[in-house]
Amino acid sequence: MKLALTRTLIRYWPVAFGLFLLALLPLIAGSGLIAMKIVAHLLMPAGIIWIVLGLWMLWPSLPKRRRALVIGLWLLYTLAGSPYLGSALLYQLEEPFYGEEQPTSRFDALILLGGGTNLSPGGRPAVGLHGDRILRPVTLYHEGMIGTLVTTGRSITESGTDRILSHETSRLWQGMGIPEAAIIELPKPRNTREELRDVAELLKQHPDWKRIGLCTSASHLPRALKEARSAGLDLLPVPCDFRSGGLALSPLWLVPQGRGFRDVQTALWEFMGRLM
């Protein structure tokens, strides 16, 4: 009996060691609150899949080739959902604009690319996940740094009719004290390239505009500025919605989670867009 138990323990020690490491994560958290958050993330779907893949790759009877495949899947999944990797990738995109957050001179016009709004169930415009796109131009306008605000875009990924993002933004801005006369809407373009193409047409009607800013999420600015140059536009970056940095060293961020998947995908989307 003892011999059989010993053999079982020897055979399954990698699995036991893996479970020990999982139990260790909340124990080294440094505070009860962080420990609770770690346990909660482990119990979320992303955490459960991570645990299952991790235990699977440690399973004793797994053939070598299959183990190598599972290890690869576990590593890929860990990286895809890593807040640390997401922050590092976003840093590569955002760091060039860290010093551009506050303009030093007034803009004749500021172009805001579509995005940053959401709709309530009742159809009311609301600030969305990237809401700093909406708020930053308002702050600059009230600081006297903006003459005219230009908002662009529509969404083609919603069910039903297209959402006119430019109109949603305009309504929010007016609710925040921006006069309607200070806002120009470009509701037709559906992506960054079309937005900047329509901006180029608009600027032909306003030769008096000499200093023009381009506002969008900092991670999106490298691609947006490249598209602007392709359209013959000389626009100055006005970054917002920074998402890189700010992560303390903590076992909390070792568990794959929604923030990691979102930031990694956002960064890779921008890198892919620049290549294409």
* pTM of the predicted model over 0.75: yes
Helix H or strand E encompassing 16: helix 13-27
Are 153 and 195 within 8 A, CB to CB?
Answer: yes
Are 255 and 25 within 8 A, CB to CB?
Answer: yes
d(C-alpha 150, C-alpha 109), whole Å = 7
* Backbone conformation region of residue 144, classed left if phi is above 0, alpha if psi is from -120 to 50, else beta: left
Q: What is the pLDDT of residue 1?
A: 53
Q: What is the pLDDT of residue 91?
A: 95
Q: What is the pLDDT of residue 6?
A: 54
Q: What is the pLDDT of residue 219?
A: 95
Residue 91: how many CB atoms within 10 A of its CB? Answer: 16
d(C-alpha 22, C-alpha 137), whole Å = 45
Q: What is the pLDDT of residue 31?
A: 81
Structural Rg of the chain based on CA atoms = 24
Q: What is the pLDDT along the chain (276 residues), one digit of tens a residue?
A: 555 545 554 555 566 666 766 676 777 777 888 889 989 999 999 999 999 999 888 888 888 899 999 999 999 999 999 999 999 999 999 999 999 889 999 999 999 998 888 888 888 999 988 889 999 999 999 999 999 999 998 887 766 677 889 999 999 999 999 999 999 999 998 899 999 999 999 999 999 999 999 999 999 999 999 999 999 999 999 999 999 977 888 889 999 999 999 999 999 999 998 887
Residue 81, class by beta-carbon neighbours within 10 Å (0-12 exposed, 13-18 middle, 19+ buried)?
A: buried
Residue 76, class by beta-carbon neighbours within 10 Å (0-12 exposed, 13-18 middle, 19+ buried)?
A: exposed
Instruction: State CA 31 to chain mean position distance.
Output: 28
Domains of the chain by start residue, with CATH: 2-92+258-274 (no CATH), 101-241 (3.40.50.620)
SS3 content of the chain, % helix, strand, coil (to 5): 55, 15, 30
Number of helical (H) and strand (E) elements in the chain, helices listed first: 11, 7
DSSP 40: H
